[in-house]
Structure 1
């Protein structure tokens, strides 16, 4: 029996006629698909099935040749709600009519400049399960933003350093800061580069000037950066300017988040579906088979099979047959 969906260097989907698609990886295939421009998802291929914005973001984030976004007659792209340019991908086998849906990283919540993922029907669902256990039930985005805004106002006597991925979380923090009392917002070059590409492709603007050696953080200022609060330059900046650090993630539902990561404060702000939203995606797609990958893949596959009643398996790297499960 030929295995149509497997995990190798990326997710591999093989049609009945033998055509092989590699999704979010660099494995050998006939066609490479890229859901979004985070570094752990995009491949080195020169031609990719992806949104134009994803291709442009990859080009600004890597030093090799710029990729070209192309179409494929068997592939349809849907907004995935994860980061700007992210896409879920529907693949239809022309020989069998079998429909595959690969979510990539996804979020069903509308927020800021992003439309949430609207699931579509498919026979086979390949679902990311970053927050695939019940303890990861996240508060509404509006509730999190209100808490962040209150904290930004309460700490106006000190500069703040906000940490988020250069693509994704950082732009949302820039939007939050635009509605805060903080008039001076700085961003690192990596964040500015991503924000400028998004602004060129979408009707959205992100506040913030590039942070350089001449900038001096003072009371009421904000710096958005990626990386770790434990890095030497951040630690020296915190000490010199009496700055407060904050991290933003779905993992912040766990009280240990701030201590493990080294932040002064932590807030729940996620670009992924939480546990309940993942279940809703499965029910909306109503597939014959669910494959889970990333995060709590085993736990969520068990939940889908036992509680939702759908056949489900966690993908394991380089499995060759169903018997390997």
Structure 2
């Protein structure tokens, strides 16, 4: 029997099992009996390292590299917990939790069902074949019908074609240090561009990912003595796009700034980021893929988080015979929603 009050949003997602154990997922200061980490993006990563954590080996290595002051992550397992590829970024995992009372929970974490670059997408059909998911806890970053993306091959081709067509101009591509940066590097390798530069932070993660995946990024280190010219590409962390050193590069080389996101469907993304060019490229499911995932898993109850959580929950309740609620911090009872 499903406990309607078992799932809450506090410091991370918390799930109270009938054993008395608390599962804590993606907490900044994990304080549960069973600690889970979905992936190593900063907004899901701890600030205070847990003693033992359930995560992929690659996520453990990436987390340790990104939280060097906290030391190495110690991985563990638990008989009630299974992880499967989430398809979001290298090392990302969705988490299946089987409570002894018969309730099975699935926490997707950030996820994508598309096979992209070196990643296998989240396979809802495979999960549904093995598990009867009662409670789904899903991210809903693009949980509105406005956000439906073209086929992956089409999105990637647009970017590679643009890199070729603009060959005579140096370009600066902005993406998250983990995931998006590596995708952009691989797209550059498929273009006619000759030199690819990245920062130390990106190179450090590249090296870890190269050891885990059959991939080589072939990027050079960018420093203040590097001069960009025709055929050159510089990949920078997304949060640097408005910094003065970037303006200096643009002014001195005529470089073009390009942003990449599912939010690029909207013109506002281009203007907010002060980009010259923008392209749709996402590590998350679009609306139609979120719907397909719910339809395939057919849970009794859905909790939504991130992005258009309220809107997606409302859509599920009106279109599917499913109880759906968006998670609100520190609410633990359904009648509080």
TM-score (norm 1): 0.97
Corresponding residue for residue 73 of structure 1:
79
Corresponding residue for residue 37 of structure 1:
40
Is residue 256 of structure 1 aligned with residue 239 of structure 2?
A: no
Is residue 314 of structure 1 aligned with residue 316 of structure 2?
A: no
- The structure 2 residue matched to 1:151, chosen from 157, 162, 165, is 162
Gaps of 5+ in 2: none
Q: CA RMSD in A?
A: 1.2
Contact 2:9–2:328 (Cα < 8 Å) also in 1:
yes
SS at match of 1:7: strand
SS at match of 1:200: helix
Corresponding residue for residue 57 of structure 1:
62
- The structure 2 residue matched to 1:118, chosen from 119, 123, 131, is 123
Moved over 2 A (4+): none
Contact 1:46–1:65 (Cα < 8 Å) also in 2:
no
The 1:136–1:45 alpha-carbon spacing in structure 2 relative to 1, beyond 3 Å, is same
Corresponding residue for residue 103 of structure 2:
98
Shift of 1:118: 0.6
Is residue 228 of structure 1 aligned with residue 240 of structure 2?
A: yes
SS at match of 1:48: coil
Shift of 1:215: 1.7
Contact 2:7–2:332 (Cα < 8 Å) also in 1:
no
Matches of 1:27 and 1:54 in 2, distance apart?
16
Shift of 1:142: 1.0
Gaps of 5+ in 1: none
Matches of 1:162 and 1:88 in 2, distance apart?
29
SS at match of 2:149: coil
Is residue 196 of structure 1 aligned with residue 187 of structure 2?
A: no
Q: What pairs up with 1:2-17 in 2 under 5 angstroms?
A: 3-17=5-19
Contact 1:175–1:207 (Cα < 8 Å) also in 2:
no
SS at match of 1:295: coil
User: How many residues are aligned here?
Assistant: 324
Matches of 1:322 and 1:17 in 2, distance apart?
21
Shift of 1:27: 4.4
Is residue 87 of structure 1 aligned with residue 110 of structure 2?
A: no
- The structure 2 residue matched to 1:28, chosen from 7, 27, 31, is 31
